[in-house]
Structure 1
Amino acid sequence: MYYIVETDKSFDQASADLESAVKHHGFGVLHVHDLGATLRSKGIVFDKECKIFEVCNPGQAAKVLSTDMRLNMALPCRISVFTEKGKTMIGLIKPVQMLSALSEDAALVEVAKEVEEKTIQMVDEAK
């Protein structure tokens, strides 16, 4: 269900490289949630780093939404850069498995396959 890779890059470098890879593959970064900073700003002791990139390809999103508007709750795709046990990781929840759990529409599964292929390429490129 997950696709997670370890990188030798720093957290900041992996984050910057992921943002570049997203754009290189024709997607946009809608927002970046700096979860680590947010938790620390609320007074929570949290020594890990975690940025969640909300990424979207408008054409693919429109295909999904025009088929089943309820799936808006599963959009946009998210790719995370995070630290775990001193290592920098980049990962995502695979769109095919997630969408298959929410819909049995074969056309949507095809869209999810295309998106999954691209998002895995982004992660591998940022690695």
Structure 2
Amino acid sequence: MYYLVETDKSFEQAATDLAAAVARHHFGVLHVHDLGNTLRSKGIAFAEDCKIFEVCNPGQAAKVLSTDMRLNMALPCRISVYTEQGKTMIGLIKPGQMLSALSQDVALAQVAKEIEEKIIQMVDEAT
């Protein structure tokens, strides 16, 4: 269900490289949640770094929503760059498996497969 890759890059470099890979694949970064800084700003002792990138391709999103509008709750796709015990990781929940749990539509399965392949390529390019 997860796609996780360890990289030798620093946290910040991996985040920068992921944003560039997203753009190269004609997806947009809608928002980046800096979860580590948010937790620390609330007084929580949190040692790790974590940025969650919300990414979307408008054409693919429209295909998903035209199949089943309820799936708006599964959008946009999220890719995380985070540290864990001194290692920098990049990962995601695979869209194909997630959407197949929400819908049995064959057309949706094909769209999810296309999205998943692109997002995995983005992660691989960022490592």
TM band (smaller chain): over 0.9
User: Which position in structure 2 is the counterpart of 1:26?
Assistant: 26
User: Which position in structure 2 is the counterpart of 1:101?
Assistant: 101
Q: Give the paired residue count.
A: 127
Aligned residue for 2:44, secondary structure, equals coil
Gaps of 5+ in 2: none
User: Which position in structure 2 is the counterpart of 1:42?
Assistant: 42
User: Which position in structure 1 is the counterpart of 2:112?
Assistant: 112
User: Which position in structure 1 is the counterpart of 2:73?
Assistant: 73
User: Which position in structure 2 is the counterpart of 1:82?
Assistant: 82
User: Which position in structure 2 is the counterpart of 1:11?
Assistant: 11
CA distance in 2, matches of 1:5, 1:85: 14
CA distance in 2, matches of 1:119, 1:62: 17
Aligned residue for 2:26, secondary structure, equals coil
Shift of residue 60, structure 1, vs aligned partner: 0.2
Aligned residue for 1:38, secondary structure, equals helix
Q: Give the percent of matched residue pairs that are identical in Structure 1 and Structure 2.
A: 81
What TM-score do you get using the length of structure 2 for normalisation?
Answer: 0.99
Aligned residue for 1:22, secondary structure, equals helix
Gaps of 5+ in 1: none
Shift of residue 85, structure 1, vs aligned partner: 1.1
Query: What code does the residue aligned with 1:49 have?
Result: D
What TM-score do you get using the length of structure 1 for normalisation?
Answer: 0.99
Aligned residue for 1:47, secondary structure, equals coil
Aligned-CA RMSD value: 0.3
CA distance in 2, matches of 1:76, 1:109: 16
Query: What code does the residue aligned with 1:5 have?
Result: V
CA distance in 1, matches of 2:21, 2:108: 24
